């Protein structure tokens, strides 16, 4: 299983590293620079608001289906015909709740209009993820890898034409939303066709089976609660910034400029979870030990996470100034304040990547094991802590306060998940591994500090820091190139 994981992770990472960083740093960043921090912050707050209720579109079906199909491939046809009907019904529920909540918090007509398209995009994204859960459950990881980047590839082409093709006189944030709609629509159609090819019947036939749907709801309900709680403590920050501050859209834009890079990093970490969930589920069913796979996957994700977090701390100002130049009609004082605030938020948020990387490994194992009660209790604590901290810190520290709230929340959740995994699976503490990890982290901090004194531009200094950190990982034997090569070539572990 380790060999299978590494082979497919390599393909998935290569595809996503080709597409998604360009989407985040090339297209998404260019959109914010084109429309300005305040207008992008307006969009970002509404987008995250639409995301808060995303679970109503899925209700835990995707995680449940991934785990169930991985263990029972023969159920694909039966589940597909019924669950497609359920997805449509859940979309109606989502619309009622989302727009009801928008009216309750007194969204403006402009925000409501934007929410129409963002809500539809959320449905399309949820539909794609559900279809991908079937591909992953069938262990069609290569096909799933292609679908995972198709939507972004299409959006890149559309947005690039609009941004740099002289097609429109002035780029508006609505065009960005429309491009997402087109990309999601084409990807959903492609994914549906691929899944239908794997069913016993080669045509789409919807089936309304109320007892079956009710049984699915009962089984997936714990997954739904988990996703809802996690969504709130991960996405509510910008919504609260926009609502709690008089100049909320501006600070939401500042937060978005820093969060964008954390989101890009989390996209890569999420790929680990996509591959690990069906693999963990099958290994648990077959009563195979998971300790070696946990250690391998955690090492592969934590080593770069430490480097990213440390680099963000030492080079936050340079990175923010490089990515976000002066906006049109922005004074020098306003620009300097925006960059300074973004740098503070960025340095804090990227430290969260260490915690989220941990949850993508250990949380995925708990999900595959069906330990939803533990996961939900942890997520509930994380959500409550995050909301309380945001209420206290946003009025005083604005976007920086929200970032601090995220940092405390993410590390608490990560620690509790590791503790629960240790108890449930009876894992022994590997003190040798932990000591090497601590030595590596301290070494990377030292390398990051020393790199600032190198007589080169900061971009070269970061590259030097990364290469030196890789050498340190090999020196302390956190990474063994020979072992990874054997896993990829022979599937041995």
How many other CB atoms are found less than 10 A from the CB of residue 103? 10
The DSSP secondary structure of 436-490, one letter per residue, reads HHHHHHHHHHHHHHHHTTSSS-HHHHHHHHHHHHHHHHHHTTS--HHHHHHHHHH
- Cβ atoms of 168 and 175 closer than 8 Å: yes
User: What are the E-state strand segments in 4-111?
Assistant: none
pLDDT, residue 487, reads 47
Residue 186 belongs to some domain of the structure: yes
Residue 436 belongs to some domain of the structure: no
- Cβ atoms of 45 and 239 closer than 8 Å: yes
Residue 78 belongs to some domain of the structure: yes
pLDDT, residue 492, reads 42
Return left, alpha or beta for 491; rule: phi > 0 is left, psi -120 to 50 is alpha, else beta. left
Domain that holds residue 402: 21-258+326-428
pLDDT, residue 66, reads 65
Mean per-residue pLDDT pooled into runs of 10, the chain (493 residues): 56 68 81 82 86 79 68 65 80 93 88 92 90 76 79 90 85 90 93 79 64 74 76 78 81 84 80 76 79 82 91 91 77 83 91 90 85 87 91 90 92 93 83 89 93 89 92 84 54 41
Between CA 196 and CA 24 the distance in angstroms is: 31
Question: Which residues touch 235 (CB under 8 Å, ≥6 apart)?
Answer: 48, 51, 52
Residue 481 belongs to some domain of the structure: no
Number of domain units in the chain: 1
Residue 182 CB burial class (10 angstroms; 0-12, 13-18, ≥19):
middle
pLDDT, residue 493, reads 39
Residue 111 belongs to some domain of the structure: yes
Between CA 277 and CA 261 the distance in angstroms is: 25
Residue 263 belongs to some domain of the structure: no
Going by the DSSP 8-state scheme, the letter that residue 42 receives in this structure is H
Residue 206 belongs to some domain of the structure: yes
Residue 448 belongs to some domain of the structure: no
């Amino acid at each position: 299983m380790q060999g299978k994981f590494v082979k497919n992770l390599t393909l998935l990472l290569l595809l996503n590293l080709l597409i998604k960083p360009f989407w985040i740093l090339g297209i998404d960043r260019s959109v914010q620079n084109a429309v300005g921090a305040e207008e992008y912050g307006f969009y970002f707050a509404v987008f995250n608001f639409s995301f808060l209720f995303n679970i109503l579109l899925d209700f835990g079906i995707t995680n449940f289906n991934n785990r169930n199909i991985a263990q029972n491939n023969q159920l694909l046809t039966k589940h597909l015909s019924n669950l497609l009907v359920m997805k449509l019904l859940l979309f109606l529920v989502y619309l009622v709740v989302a727009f009801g909540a928008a009216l309750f918090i007194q969204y403006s007509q402009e925000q409501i209009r934007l929410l129409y398209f963002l809500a539809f995009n959320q449905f399309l994204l949820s539909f794609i993820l559900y279809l991908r859960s079937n591909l992953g459950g069938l262990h069609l990881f290569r096909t799933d890898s292609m679908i995972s980047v198709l939507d972004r590839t299409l959006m890149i082409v559309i947005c690039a034409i609009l941004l740099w093709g002289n097609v429109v006189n002035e780029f508006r944030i609505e065009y960005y939303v429309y491009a997402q709609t087109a990309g999601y629509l084409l990807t959903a159609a492609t994914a549906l066709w691929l899944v239908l090819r794997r069913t016993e019947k080669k045509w789409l036939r919807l089936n309304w089976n109320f007892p079956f749907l009710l049984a699915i709801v009962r089984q997936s309900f714990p997954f739904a609660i988990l996703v809802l709680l996690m969504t709130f403590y991960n996405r509510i920050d910008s919504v609260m910034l926009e609502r709690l501050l008089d100049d909320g859209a501006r600070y939401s834009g500042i937060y978005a400029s820093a969060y964008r890079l954390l989101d890009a990093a989390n996209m890569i970490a999420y790929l680990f979870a996509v591959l690990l969930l069906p693999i963990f589920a099958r290994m648990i069913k077959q009563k195979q030990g998971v300790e070696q796979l946990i250690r391998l996957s955690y090492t592969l994700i934590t080593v770069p996470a430490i480097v990213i977090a440390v680099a963000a701390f030492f080079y936050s100002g340079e990175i923010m100034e490089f990515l976000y130049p002066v906006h049109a009609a922005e004074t020098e004082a306003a620009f300097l304040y925006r960059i300074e605030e973004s740098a503070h938020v960025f340095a804090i948020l990227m430290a969260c990547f260490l915690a989220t990387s941990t949850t993508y490994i250990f949380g995925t194992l708990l999900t595959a094991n069906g330990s939803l009660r533990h996961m939900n209790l942890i997520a509930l604590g994380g959500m409550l802590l995050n909301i309380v901290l945001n209420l206290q810190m946003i009025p005083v520290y604005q976007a920086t306060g929200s970032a601090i709230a995220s940092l405390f929340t993410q590390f608490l959740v990560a620690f509790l998940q590791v503790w629960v995994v240790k108890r449930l699976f009876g894992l022994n503490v590997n003190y040798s591994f932990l000591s090497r990890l601590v030595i590596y982290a301290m070494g990377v901090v030292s390398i990051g500090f020393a790199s600032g004194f190198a007589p080169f531009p900061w971009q070269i200094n970061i590259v030097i820091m990364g290469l030196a950190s890789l050498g340190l990982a090999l020196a302390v034997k956190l990474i063994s190139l020979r072992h990874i090569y054997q896993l990829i070539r022979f599937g041995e572990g």
